[in-house]
Structure formats: structure tokens, C-alpha cells
Structure 1
Amino acid sequence: MIFPNCAPFRTGFLKYELKTLPNVAEVATLGGMVKQYQVVMDPQKLVAYRVTQQDVAQALRRANQETGGAVLEMGEREYMVRASGYLQSLEDFKSVPLRASATGVPVLLGQVATVQLGPEMRRGVAELDGEGEVVGGVVILRSGKNAREALQAVKNKLETLKASLPPGVELVTTYDRSQLIDRAINNLSYKLLEEFGVVALVCLLFLWHLRSSLVAINHVTDGHPGCLYCDAVSGHQREHLCPWVGLPLRSGQWLMRQWS
């Protein structure tokens, strides 16, 4: 894995591509190094050129900004004048004027300080299976949305983005919540079928009549899920596991009322 190149690629490309997906609220990043320009001042040269740290900070702020001008009218058209002054290289930083000397020659930043590239100070790191540092991201979904569909869209998007990865960079999924959702749905479906079978058997044993038992079984198996679905669609009740887990209890209470 090309570690120094992963953080800019993740922040400047992958993060914005994933945020374009529906139901994705944010992509939180972790790990990696952020490149920054570091200015290391020489105290002796500052004294020799009569430059203070405040002078250096103010000069950098003045040099690293974009200034807007007036509007120029030419040929029945208007042209907006803008002066772009963003610092983009080490030479740009070294050429920033600080003050004029006694002879009128400007004192440049490169004369009193060393300008270099370095990593931003970090508060944490990310590792994967003890193999070294990695960069990662956490996809945060919008509240109340279908998590299973949103995660499937994220996985499809990542498959298409793998072709754009730099050489030596591998995309690894460490936690997939959709697997937990699928296991919960499969387990709940099996338990509901099991409970419906028990309810049908109890109805048949107590009534001892097939057609009468089918009426009760149809009421239990179709009525309660239909009510839960209508509540979820109307917005009175969110469609999650809790009401479905309570369905067998409601079915048992209904049976007890019928034969009490």
C-alpha cells in the first residue's frame, strides 16, 4: 500500500464520490497523514533582518489569498477581474516578501526560514490486522432511511471506483452492516414461520375442525402482519424488528382470549 498517497486520494476523491449517493449523510475519515507546508524560522536570521514572528504570519496571510477587482467592459461584455494569490509550491512560499531592508531590497521568507513539506500533527492512527498503518472511512447513513438499500448502493459504487485506485492501493471492507441486517431478517423469518406453525397446530388441536382452524390461522397469519405493514407505511410506526418480534406474543394473547 502506498501510504503517503492514500490520504489525499481518500479525502479528495473517494469521500466526495460516496457523498453523492442518496441516503449518505457523511463519510468520516480516520488515519492517514495530511500534507502541509511547514515554515521553520531561524531566530538569529530574524534578529539580523529585524523581522518578528508576527511579521511572518501577516505576510503569509496577505500572500495566500484571492482578491477581487472591478468589472471591465469590452465589446458589450463584462469581464470580472480577479487576482489569484494562492501559494502552491515551496518556491512560492520562499518568495513571500516580509519587509524592505535599509537599502530598499525586500527581505524574503526564504532568507529567514526553511520551508519544507511535512505531515500535519496527528491525534491518532489506524491499523489493519497489525500489518501497518492504513487510511479508512466510515459511511454514515441518514436517519430513518433504508440502511440495507443504502449499503448496497455504497458497495456497488466502491466496485466501480476500484478501477480508479492508484497502483498498489487496495480497498478492503472491514465492517459491513448489511450482513448483520441480512442475518437478522433470515433469523426472524425462520422464527415467524416456526411460530405460525405452532399457532396453526394449536388451533387445529383445540377446534379439531380443519375449516374452522383455517379461519383462525388466516386471521393470525394475515391480519397482524397487515396491521404492522399499514402502520409502517402510514408513518405511525417504524418498520423494524421490534413489532415483528412481538407478533408471536400477540398471537398467543389472541388465542387465549378466544378460548377463555
Structure 2
Amino acid sequence: MLNAIVDASLRYKVLVLVAFAVVIGLGVQAFRQVPVDAFPDVTPIQVSIYTESPGLAAEDVEKLLTTPIEGGMAGLPGVEEVRSVSLFGLSYVAVYFKDNVDIYFARRLVGEKLQDVKGRLPQGYGEPVLGPNSSGLGQVFWYTIESADKKLSAMDLRTLHDWTVRLILRTAPGVDDIVSWGGHQKQYQVQIDPRQLIKYGLSFKQVMERLTANNKQVGGQSINLGSEQYLVRGLGLVSTTKDIAGIVVAERNGAPIYVRDVAQVKEAPAPRFGAVTKDGQEAVLGIALARVNENAQAVVDAVKAKLVVAQAALPKGVTLVPNYDRAELVQKALRTAESSLVEGAILVAVILFLFLGEFRSAIVVIITLPLAMLIAFILMQQFGVSANLMSLAGLAIGTGMMVDGAVVLVENSFRLLSHARESGKPINKTHLILEAAREVINPIALRSSSSSSSSCRCSR
């Protein structure tokens, strides 16, 4: 079979050139489209489920939330394992699928099953939600939001990030979520005084019900006046602490009892269990999470473009400062691999020229290097392998293996042509090259296949 391929290649030279051009076109396209990252992502296919239940003990979280969710996910098709962690106020369940399962299909299965599980969870203990569609290597960009004049507090910076910066950056292509760390989450707190409740004969439940009932927008249909129609709106959403304090809780002897009579209303930070510091000072950190199987380089570029838009929307004196950029690591990894490939190709060319003493023979062998690499990129794109430090380093290490067969074939052809010239007989170059290829093609194929199988066993 191999002899027939060699024979056909020498007979149909135009067809070989066309195939060569097709491989170049497909290889260049694959090189541009193959995912680029610093390291290979070996994270298994998994879907995370989070349930927050503030104040609930870990044992109660395990019994009321984690166990029902974990049991509901165990029967899904393609599931290999279900793991869970129950913490104070938080339930975390991770569903691991087989590697051949599509991540979006897995998330859809978990989302559908989660709707059934929600009906078996006790009311008032939190709502389970799916975690971000990202992996362990999904954190591609870190930045902090800082106030140059230090006039804004950590709560002000966190509010700006959550309601301005985060919403803009989430629109970047390839970004699954923007995570906020550090600072203080702003809250409108109603701190009830139990002694005042006893004084007015009220309960916590009554205050909570009145707060909920007086914080709504309602529609009042419309009113027709002649030929005109007016829409009626009931504006009931509170916007300041003064609005909350002025809500009527109850009535005693014709006199209203307001929230301010039984509680203190103020803006205050939410309770937190951690913080972020930078250079010894408290900071607000944002983390961009890339979706699974996205090109890290492209995602970082998109985030940087949106970062400019977000910066323009911030007040004067507030800046967004990058702290970690995966693109820099990717570029360094690519430059390292590319330099190894170029240096290897140059070294091979020099050695061939020195030993063969003919420039054309060296060129024939050197051409196999970019051709083999383009074929490798085509296969990488088809099998979803990213261009990272390890895969490109493998190509660099395999430079010698790539040209090994071509070197043997060229040397054998060069030997037969030299013998023919020395004998003084008429030379048929095509026949001699075909004879030289038939002599070594089977040993070359056997040697390449054995080297490839050895490499596969070592990689496993």
C-alpha cells in the first residue's frame, strides 16, 4: 500500500501540489482558530450547584439542602460521580460527567432535574442555582477598582463595581461571569429594637410584612378622559432610608406607628467572612471567568476592550487597575515554543546542508517541517486540543522525528543518484527516486509508528 502511494505521488505531481496547497490552507485556518492558552485544561466535565442559606448550621445544610440535591442528581445519564460540601450557610454540590458529554447538554440535564428537586426542598432555606460555566483555569483576568484621592470607601467602590463595571464586562464575548471580591456590600438595614416592639405590642413578623407590602410597584390600568387615555401607576418602591423609616407598621388609638418608632434604619455593610488586600490596604477585586473551551487570548482581549468602556462610565478619580493578565502568560508560552520550533528548523537545515553538501536536498527536508506542523494544527482543531505550552513544546521536541523520515528518503535518493552518475549510465531521476523510496518507505513507517506508540504510552 505504501509503495502504491509513493508511486501515485510521483506519477500525479500536479495532484500532489494541489493537496499540498489544500493542507496549507486548512492548516493556516486551523492555526488561527485553535484555542490558545498557557496550559492544557484537564478539568473534568462538571456542573456546580450552590445554595445559600445564611445563618444555617453545616449539619442542617447537609440534611435539608445537600442531601436532597445530591440524591436528585445521582440518576442523571452520563454521571460518573456526585460530590458535595456543606458549610455554614452554604451547600455546594458538584456533578461530574463523562468526558464525552457536552458541557451545555450536561448543564441542561442538571437544570431540568434541579426544577424537580426544588419542590422537595423546605421553603425559606435558600434557592439552589447553577454555578458558572467555567473551569479551574477559567480565571483569565484580575483587576482592582481604586479611588485615587481615597475619598470613596470600600462600600462605595464595591457598589460601583457591582452595578456599573460588572454589568459592562459581562457583555464581553466568551465571559461567563464577573466575580466581585472584597469591599463591603451595601445594605439598607432595619435594626429592630425588641423593647420598642414590646412597648407597642408588635412582633418581628408584623414589621417584616409591612416592609414587604410597602415596597412594591403596581399598575392601576388607565383612565379615559375624553379622547385621551392616562396610565395609572402606583409608585411604592423605597429609595432612601427616610422612605423606609416612614413606612407605617400599625395604628394605636388613631396614631400611626412608623418603622422609625421601633427600629433604626441606616445604610451599613453586609456581614462578610473575608477580605481582599493590596499593598496592605483593603481593595475591591474583580475576576473575569472565561467559559469552558473558550480561547483565553480572545477572551482577555475582549475584557480589555470592555474595560475601556467601563472606565469611561466611572466617576473622576476612580480607576480600574489590571493585576493579572492570562494573555501575558500565553504570549510568553507561545514565544518560548515558537523560538524552539524556529531554532530546531534552522539547526536541522544547517546540519543537512553540512552533511549532504547540497542546498536543494536540505530544502526538500525543511519543507516537511511546516507541512507537518500545519497537519498537527488541523488535528488539534478537530480533537479540541488547545495550543498551549505543553502541546507546542511537544511539537518542538518532535522536530527531529518530523524530519527523520524525510532525511532517510533524501539521503537514499542522493546515494542512488550519486551511484548512477559514477557509473556513467543514463539517469532516469523519477525511476531512481521511486526505487529509493520503495527501499526505505516500510522501515520509515515502522519506525515512525513505533515511536508514536511509545510516546502515547509515556503520555498516559
Query: Is TM more than 0.5 here?
Result: yes
**Aligned position for 1:100:** 251
Q: CA deviation at 1:229?
A: 2.9
Give secondary structure in 2 for the equivalent of 1:121. coil
Question: Aligned ranges for residues 38-117 of structure 1 at < 5 Å?
Answer: 38-70=189-221, 81-101=232-252, 103-117=253-267
Distance 1:93 1:107 in 2: 13
- For the pair 1:223 / 2:352, whether they are aligned, the reply is no
**Superposition TM-score, scaled by structure 1 size:** 0.86
More divergent stretch after superposition (79-88 vs 66-75): 66-75
- For the pair 1:165 / 2:314, whether they are aligned, the reply is yes
Q: Kindly indicate whether the alpha-carbon contact (under 8 Å) linking 2:187 and 2:270 is maintained by their aligned counterparts in 1.
A: yes
**Aligned position for 2:394:** 246
Question: Residue deviations 1:95-142, cap 9 Å, x none?
Answer: 2122221x2333221112221221111121111111x11112011122
Q: Letter of the 1:169 partner, please give it.
A: V
**Aligned position for 2:10:** none
**Aligned position for 1:236:** 383
Which consecutive unaligned segments of at least 5 residues does structure 2 have? Answer: 1-149, 409-442, 444-460
Question: Residue deviations 1:195-215, cap 9 Å, x none?
Answer: 112322343355443322221
Q: Kindly indicate whether the alpha-carbon contact (under 8 Å) linking 2:366 and 2:403 is maintained by their aligned counterparts in 1.
A: no
Give secondary structure in 2 for the equivalent of 1:171. strand
Which of 12, 16, 32 in structure 1 is aligned with 2:163? 12
Q: Structure 2 vs 1, CA of residues 110 and 147 (structure 1 numbering), >3 Å: closer, same or farther?
A: same
Q: Letter of the 1:227 partner, please give it.
A: I
**Aligned position for 2:340:** 191
Give secondary structure in 2 for the equivalent of 1:29. strand
Which of 178, 183, 206 in structure 2 is aligned with 1:27? 178
**Aligned position for 2:4:** none
Q: Structure 2 vs 1, CA of residues 254 and 152 (structure 1 numbering), >3 Å: closer, same or farther?
A: closer
**Aligned position for 1:138:** 287
* RMSD between superposed Cα atoms in Å: 2.5
Distance 2:196 2:177 in 1: 46
Distance 1:248 1:36 in 2: 56
- For the pair 1:156 / 2:305, whether they are aligned, the reply is yes
Aligned pair count?
Answer: 256
Q: Structure 2 vs 1, CA of residues 228 and 76 (structure 1 numbering), >3 Å: closer, same or farther?
A: farther
Which consecutive unaligned segments of at least 5 residues does structure 1 have? Answer: none
Distance 2:236 2:272 in 1: 29
- For the pair 1:178 / 2:327, whether they are aligned, the reply is yes
Q: CA deviation at 1:157?
A: 3.2
Q: Letter of the 2:194 partner, please give it.
A: P
Distance 1:225 1:77 in 2: 73
Give secondary structure in 1 for the equivalent of 2:205. helix
Which of 107, 125, 128 in structure 1 is aligned with 2:275? 125
Q: Kindly indicate whether the alpha-carbon contact (under 8 Å) linking 1:66 and 1:85 is maintained by their aligned counterparts in 2.
A: yes
Q: Structure 2 vs 1, CA of residues 15 and 238 (structure 1 numbering), >3 Å: closer, same or farther?
A: same
Distance 1:75 1:143 in 2: 59
Q: CA deviation at 1:243?
A: 3.5
Question: Residue deviations 1:209-229, cap 9 Å, x none?
Answer: 33222212211x222122023
Q: What percent identity do the matched residue pairs reach? A: 29
Which of 175, 183, 203 in structure 1 is aligned with 2:352? 203
Which of 186, 189, 212 in structure 1 is aligned with 2:361? 212
Q: Kindly indicate whether the alpha-carbon contact (under 8 Å) linking 1:224 and 1:247 is maintained by their aligned counterparts in 2.
A: no
- For the pair 1:37 / 2:188, whether they are aligned, the reply is yes
Distance 2:377 2:168 in 1: 35
Q: CA deviation at 1:66?
A: 2.3
Distance 1:127 1:75 in 2: 64
Q: Structure 2 vs 1, CA of residues 160 and 52 (structure 1 numbering), >3 Å: closer, same or farther?
A: closer
Q: Letter of the 1:59 partner, please give it.
A: R
Q: Kindly indicate whether the alpha-carbon contact (under 8 Å) linking 1:6 and 1:135 is maintained by their aligned counterparts in 2.
A: yes
Give secondary structure in 2 for the equivalent of 1:175. strand
Q: Letter of the 1:52 partner, please give it.
A: S
Distance 1:80 1:232 in 2: 60
Q: Structure 2 vs 1, CA of residues 75 and 153 (structure 1 numbering), >3 Å: closer, same or farther?
A: farther
Q: Letter of the 1:126 partner, please give it.
A: V
Q: Kindly indicate whether the alpha-carbon contact (under 8 Å) linking 2:223 and 2:231 is maintained by their aligned counterparts in 1.
A: yes
Q: Structure 2 vs 1, CA of residues 47 and 104 (structure 1 numbering), >3 Å: closer, same or farther?
A: same
Q: CA deviation at 1:182?
A: 1.3
Give secondary structure in 2 for the equivalent of 1:145. coil
Distance 2:171 2:226 in 1: 41
Give secondary structure in 2 for the equivalent of 1:201. helix
Distance 1:193 1:75 in 2: 83
Q: Letter of the 1:226 partner, please give it.
A: L
